[in-house]
Amino acid sequence: MIKNIVIFGNGNHCQIVKQEILKHSNYRILAVYDFIEGRIKLADAYKKSKISWQSNFYGITAAGDNRQREVLVNKVNKSFKNIKWIKIVSKNSVVEKDVKIGEGTLVVSGSVINTNASIGEHCIVNTSSSIDHDTKIGKFSNIAPGVHIAGNVNVGNSVFIGMGTCIQEKININSNVSIGAQSFVKKNCKKNSQYFGLPAKKKK
């Protein structure tokens, strides 16, 4: 059965979302919406589909920024009562069968997610990242390309983990934390904070 998908967000990240959708033969893109100055505007309707995108459809966001993605999801939920959020898992990723992935989340090519891990709603697991066993990631978080998260790590909501960062096992990263690229995290991270370095330290 074909799943009709509308993409919300038309920035650079949208190209990644499109490519991952097109790898699935049972997915079809109906339209792309832009998010400008807090408003949702139609950017591109795929008329060749010969389907009204105003009927029931699936949606996914293409906003890389965590806060913007959360605002966009709330706007869409109010504007489109007929939407159902869909998770997109790349055919070129390795995800164990018992992994839980929330609706609206994108898992990009080359990613590996191991047994008993869970990813919250509206997250991004970007190119060639790895998430090991029993790790939990909250909603609206962004795991950048090349991030490696060890086992039994807890990541809160709206967390950004920068490119190439490594997280040691059994670490707690609280909500609204931003970790700079190429960092090594070996201590717990406090909420509403920024961390960076080898090892990662809280920025004052």
CB atoms inside a 10 Å sphere around CB 111: 23
Please name the residue that has the structure tokens 């990541």: 155
Please tell me which residue in 13, 24, 122, 133 is annotated as part of the active site.
133
- Residue 178, CA distances (Å) to 24, 26, 46, 190, 196 in order: 32, 36, 36, 10, 9
User: Could you say which DSSP state residue 17 is in?
Assistant: H
Which of 68, 26, 66, 32 lies closest to 47 in space, CA to CA? 32
148 is catalytic: no
Q: 3-state secondary structure string, 140-151? A: CCEECCCCEECC
H or E, element range at 195: strand 194-196
Name the residues annotated as catalytic. Answer: 133
